[in-house]
C-alpha cells in the first residue's frame, strides 16, 4: 500500500495529473503525501535542520498543489496550451525534491495558480527580448539554460542562429565567472542553505559543456580561454579520482562526502572529448552499483527505468575498448535483463512507451525508451556487445516511428515536440522527412 501511494504521490508531483480516490478524505490524502515525501527523501533530516517547521511548510505546498491538479488535467484534456504551466510545475517539482526553500516554492505556486486561471496562456516559444533566453516561465537560471540549449541546438542543426543575442550567457563568459558559478554548485550544505545542488550541477555541466565545446550559438562570442577553463574544472575539480565518477559533494557539521551520480557521469562521458581518464575505475564503479538505486545506481525503487538504462548503455558503449572479458560476461547478462524489462513492461502495443513516475512527461518517456533501444543496438544487425540480433526489432521500430509521427501531428506537445523529434533522430530518421510535418 505504501509503495503504491508513493508512486501516486511522485507521479502527481512530477506531472500534476495524479489520480486520487474520490472516497479519500482530502486532509488524510495530503498527510499521506507529505509523510511519503518525508520518508522517501534521503535529504529530509538535513531539510529539517535547515527548517524546523519543514513538515508544516511542505504540507501547505502539497495542499495547494492538490487543489490545482484538476485544473491542470482539465486544460491538458481540452488541449489548452500548458507549456508555461508545465515549466512552472517542473521547477516546483525540483524545489520540492531538492530543497526546503519555501521562500522560492510559494511564489512559484502563485505563478502556477495564476497561469492555470488565465484564459491567455503565456507563450513560451519565443526568446526573451531582455537576454535572449528561452524558458520565460522558468526562474532558475539552469532551467532557462537547459531549455535554451534545446532551441539553440535545433537552430545550429539547421544552420541558423538565435535572432536575439543570448546575453544570458554573459554571467559565465570568463574563466573566473564560469569556475565560480560551477564551484557554487559543486558542494551542497543543506542544513545551512536548504538546497541540494545535484540536479542543478548536472544539467548546468551538461548544457555548458555542449555549448562551449561546440561553440554554440555561433553568433555568441565565448571568451577565448573558456574551453580550457571548463575542461580544467570538469576533469580536475568536479571528477572524483577514487571512483572516476562525477557527482555532488555534501557538507555537514561533521564531514564532507562525495556521492557518485550516474546521470552526471553519463553527461560528461557523452560530451567530453577523448581521452576520458580512468576508464577502468569508471567501469568498475559502474558495475559495482548496478543493484543500487539512483543517484549512483542503475535502478529506481528497485526497478529498471529507460532513462537510467540509456545512461548505463551509453557509458559502457564508449568505454567498450576498456571492458575486460569478465566484465563483458556480466554486462551481457545485465543488458539482456534491461531489454527484456523494457520490451515486456514499458513498450506498449501501439509503439509508445508507458509514462512512469520517473518521466517528466509523455515526450521524455518516448525519448528515453526509444533511445535506449537504439543505443543498446536493438535495431542494429551488429550490436556492439553481442553477436545475436533481435528478430522483431524492425517491426517494433516502425511502430515507434508511426506513434511519434501521430504524436507530432496531434499538437499535444508538453515539451514543444523537441523530444519527439530527437527520438526520431535517435532512430536514424529525419523528423521532417519521415513525418512530413512542420516544426
The per-residue pLDDT for 124 is 94
Q: For cell 539553440, name the residue.
A: 152
Residue 132: beta bridge partners? Answer: none
**pLDDT tens per residue across span 394-439:** 999 999 999 999 999 988 787 789 999 999 999 999 988 889 744 4
Contact yes or no for 91/140 (Cβ under 8 A):
yes
- Cell numbers describing residue 330: 556480466
B/e letters for 56-80, b = 16+ CB within 10 Å, e = fewer, are ebbbbbbbbbbebbebbbebbeeee
pLDDT tens digits for range 249-271: 999 888 999 999 999 999 999 99
pTM: 0.91
22 vs 8: CA distance, rounded Å: 14
Output the CA–CA distances (angstroms, integers) from residue 222 to 164, 166, 178, 215, 227, in the order listed. Answer: 16, 11, 11, 7, 9
Whole-number pLDDT of residue 22 = 32
- The pLDDT value given to residue 240: 98
**CA-closest candidate to residue 240, choices 271, 285, 185:** 285
Nearest-angstrom CA–CA distance, 208 and 142: 10
The C-alpha atoms of residue 390 and residue 236 are separated, in whole angstroms, by 42
CB 30 within 8 A of CB 13: no
List, for the chain, all residue ranges whose pLDDT scores fall below the cut of 50: 1-11, 14-27, 437-439
User: CA-CA distance, 381 to 398, in Å (whole number)?
Assistant: 16
Give per-residue pLDDT as tens, 147-177. Answer: 999 999 999 999 999 999 999 999 999 999 9
**What's residue 13's pLDDT?**
53
Amino acid at each position: 500500500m505504501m509503495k503504491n501511494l508513493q508512486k501516486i504521490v511522485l507521479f502527481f508531483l512530477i506531472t500534476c495529473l495524479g489520480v486520487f480516490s474520490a472516497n479519500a478524505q482530502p486532509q488524510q490524502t495530503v498527510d499521506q503525501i507529505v509523510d511519503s515525501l518525508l520518508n522517501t527523501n534521503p535529504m529530509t533530516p538535513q531539510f529539517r535542520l535547515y527548517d524546523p517547521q519543514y513538515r508544516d511548510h511542505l504540507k501547505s505546498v502539497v495542499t495547494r498543489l492538490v487543489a490545482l491538479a484538476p485544473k491542470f488535467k482539465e486544460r491538458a484534456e481540452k488541449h489548452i496550451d500548458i507549456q508555461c504551466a508545465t515549466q512552472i510545475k517542473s521547477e516546483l517539482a525540483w524545489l520540492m525534491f531538492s530543497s526546503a526553500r519555501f521562500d522560492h516554492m510559494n511564489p512559484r505556486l502563485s505563478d502556477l495558480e495564476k497561469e492555470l486561471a488565465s484564459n491567455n496562456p503565456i507563450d513560451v516559444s519565443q526568446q526573451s527580448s531582455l537576454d535572449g533566453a528561452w524558458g520565460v516561465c522558468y526562474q532558475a537560471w539552469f532551467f532557462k539554460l537547459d531549455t535554451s540549449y534545446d532551441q539553440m541546438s535545433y537552430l545550429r542543426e539547421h544552420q541558423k542562429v538565435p535572432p536575439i543575442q543570448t546575453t544570458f550567457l554573459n554571467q559565465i563568459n570568463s574563466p573566473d565567472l564560469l569556475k565560480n558559478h560551477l564551484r557554487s554548485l559543486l558542494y551542497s550544505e543543506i542544513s545551512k542553505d536548504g538546497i541540494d545542488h545535484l540536479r542543478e550541477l548536472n544539467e548546468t555541466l551538461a548544457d555548458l559543456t555542449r555549448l562551449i565545446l561546440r561553440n554554440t550559438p555561433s553568433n555568441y562570442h565565448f571568451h577565448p580561454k573558456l574551453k580550457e577553463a571548463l575542461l580544467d574544472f570538469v576533469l580536475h575539480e568536479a571528477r572524483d579520482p577514487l571512483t572516476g565518477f562525477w557527482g555532488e559533494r555534501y557538507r555537514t557539521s561533521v564531514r564532507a562526502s562525495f556521492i557518485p551520480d550516474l546521470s552526471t557521469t553519463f553527461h560528461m562521458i557523452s560530451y567530453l572529448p577523448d581521452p576520458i581518464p580512468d576508464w577502468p575505475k569508471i567501469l568498475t564503479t559502474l558495475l559495482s552499483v548496478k543493484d543500487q538505486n539512483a543517484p549512483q545506481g542503475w535502478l529506481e525503487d528497485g526497478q529498471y527505468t529507460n532513462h537510467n538504462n540509456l545512461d548505463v548503455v551509453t557509458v559502457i558503449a564508449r568505454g567498450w575498448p576498456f571492458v575486460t572479458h569478465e566484465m563483458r560476461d556480466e554486462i551481457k547478462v545485465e543488458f539482456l535483463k534491461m531489454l527484456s524489462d523494457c520490451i515486456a513492461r514499458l513498450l506498449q502495443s501501439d509503439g509508445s512507451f508507458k509514462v512512469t513516475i520517473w518521466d517528466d512527461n509523455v515526450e521524455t518517456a518516448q525519448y528515453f525508451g526509444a533511445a535506449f533501444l537504439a543505443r543498446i543496438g536493438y535495431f542494429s544487425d551488429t550490436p556492439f556487445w553481442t553477436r545475436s540480433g533481435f528478430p522483431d526489432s524492425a517491426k517494433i521500430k516502425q511502430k515507434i516511428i508511426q506513434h511519434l509521427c501521430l504524436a507530432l501531428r496531434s499538437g499535444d506537445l508538453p515539451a514543444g515536440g523537441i523530444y519527439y523529434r530527437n527520438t526520431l533522430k535517435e532512430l536514424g530518421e529525419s523528423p521532417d522527412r519521415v513525418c512530413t510535418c512542420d516544426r
